[in-house]
Structure 1
């Protein structure tokens, strides 16, 4: 296997700081080096696209503030070379998933302890990484919904929202999910969402006042701006709102959507003994592997569904190769995607 490897490989990096992903990125050639002790070399088949990809190109994270910046942070592929001292756990040909900067790359050399073996190479396993893990751990560790409570998921037909809907249902909750358009509403119904709310046709605040008169116990919120304000107003007594992001502001210079209500937030929470809690996935590093294993088991047992969008809805071959990553990011921000957006970085390789 090692003799068949190329001398160089390609990866996508940000060469300038801007929230305009397409303007920021460039494909570069790199020398392919063998893994050192304790490492494995992975050929990436599928890489996931996330809203935060443009936060990397904008330099909004401390560890990624000076170009060139490695882009992409989740992938699924196969082990093609094993370094000394890895042991029997990982062998050449093993399908694996990983969370690491630089997944928009044809090859990745990573510590053997940082990769997750998976049953096969499928795009669905990419969706369980950043998106699935965010939903699972945000609900379990921060939102803590109980059976019988009402949960509102914003951006519910997106990569992470789809899992928040299903995982809340598995906890015995009543789930409402916001979306835009009939196709997304149909997806939410198929995922078990009790009440899809298409905000292009209905006013969210009116629906919540009418159908949740006692308020919402838990909100899984990643949109920001007016959606955040409406969700805070809808909180029940002792309600918990989880902030997993604020995508509405990512395509701006500030990176943060404007809210006319933030100055009054303490008073709005006080009267309900409610709370707003932040969630950032990598603050729960020790929980990642057991949570991922749980999600894989649920998926394999048919208790969890992973909707994947590879850009084929409009015909054609979809998102293939590093060249397609900017198109995939644009697709995410077009509000027309369904589920998790995944790019096939190696379309000539068959699934394992």
Structure 2
């Protein structure tokens, strides 16, 4: 939970370390991704039974937890993804309506099946999907921004959106856009981890891990495979959290 990555060993302050039961890839999924979904939904989403929640990149490292935690709150969950394999994965973790944007038009599906809009959007893609998500918000809807991967590789690091119309759109619906950055909530991470670990150990929370089995070069093993893992992440082909296995029982996460 401290700055620095892509190393076989690192030194962090003791108060920045979080204990886990054992060295297993699934626990790495909880440290950032699980905690981000847990805390952001608890603090910003105002979830209640029966509400409609849209999760973008729902089969990814963080999206998988947003889906499951929203279902635990007895919400109806819609998730966007990019393949039938991911759609099937989403169904196994409780997603009520997976939308494969490669075969279905997300905007058309939302307008047809959710004409009153969605109450919460858990957004990590940015760009055109952010604009679509704003349009899909219901009255008093909340859009939580936890990332914008579509802009990570741009020279400016920004994901273009049509911000000019945003104030009017939000005002008409009494809606809101809320950003979440885990570092600002670090004091709550240990409590979140405690709950997530209990759910994980009790079989109530799936922790999807992608070790690169389906990547062109095979498993992500060793520090030299980090480059392949990053490229694989940007292709959007991973299901769950990408984990690179390092020597000496040390693992790194993306």
Structure 1 residues 262-281: aligned runs within 5 Å:
262-281=163-182
Structure with bigger helix share is 2
CA contact (8 A) 2:23 2:249 kept: no
- SS of residue matched to 2:197: helix
**CA RMSD between the two structures:** 1.6
1:221 — aligned with what? 123
Residue 114 of structure 1, aligned match among 9, 16, 36: 16
Q: How far did residue 316 of structure 1 move?
A: 6.8
> Structure 1 residues 314 and 281 mapped into 2: Cα distance closer, same or farther (>3 Å)?
closer
Residue 136 of structure 2, aligned match among 222, 229, 234: 234
CA distance in structure 1 between the aligned counterparts of 2:13 and 2:64, rounded to whole angstroms = 30
**Runs of 4+, deviation exceeding 6 Å:** none
Q: How far did residue 222 of structure 1 move?
A: 0.6
2:155 — aligned with what? 253
2:208 — aligned with what? 307
Higher relative contact order (CA 8 A, sep 6+): 2
CA distance in structure 2 between the aligned counterparts of 1:232 and 1:314, rounded to whole angstroms = 33
Question: Is the aligned partner of 1:186 residue 2:99?
Answer: no
Q: How far did residue 102 of structure 1 move?
A: 2.3
Residue 291 of structure 1, aligned match among 192, 199, 202: 192
Residue 339 of structure 1, aligned match among 233, 240, 247: 240
Residue 231 of structure 2, aligned match among 319, 322, 330: 330
CA contact (8 A) 2:215 2:232 kept: no
- SS of residue matched to 1:117: coil
Where does the alignment leave 5 or more consecutive residues of structure 2 unmatched? Answer: none
CA distance in structure 1 between the aligned counterparts of 2:80 and 2:113, rounded to whole angstroms = 14
CA distance in structure 1 between the aligned counterparts of 2:103 and 2:147, rounded to whole angstroms = 24
Q: How far did residue 314 of structure 1 move?
A: 4.8
Residue 139 of structure 1, aligned match among 36, 41, 58: 41
> Structure 1 residues 178 and 317 mapped into 2: Cα distance closer, same or farther (>3 Å)?
closer
Pair member with larger Rg: 1
CA distance in structure 2 between the aligned counterparts of 1:191 and 1:337, rounded to whole angstroms = 16
1:89 — aligned with what? none
> Structure 1 residues 342 and 272 mapped into 2: Cα distance closer, same or farther (>3 Å)?
same
Alignment TM-score, normalising by the size of structure 2:
0.95
> Structure 1 residues 258 and 129 mapped into 2: Cα distance closer, same or farther (>3 Å)?
same
CA distance in structure 1 between the aligned counterparts of 2:216 and 2:149, rounded to whole angstroms = 27
Which stretch has the larger CA shift, 101-110 or 193-202? 101-110
CA distance in structure 1 between the aligned counterparts of 2:85 and 2:73, rounded to whole angstroms = 26
The one-character-per-residue Cα deviations of 1:157-195 (angstroms, maximum 9, x if unpaired) are: 100000000000011100000000111111101111000
Residue 164 of structure 1, aligned match among 66, 78, 85: 66
Structure with bigger strand share is 1
CA distance in structure 1 between the aligned counterparts of 2:57 and 2:204, rounded to whole angstroms = 21
The one-character-per-residue Cα deviations of 1:184-219 (angstroms, maximum 9, x if unpaired) are: 111101111000000111111111111111110000
Q: How far did residue 108 of structure 1 move?
A: 2.2
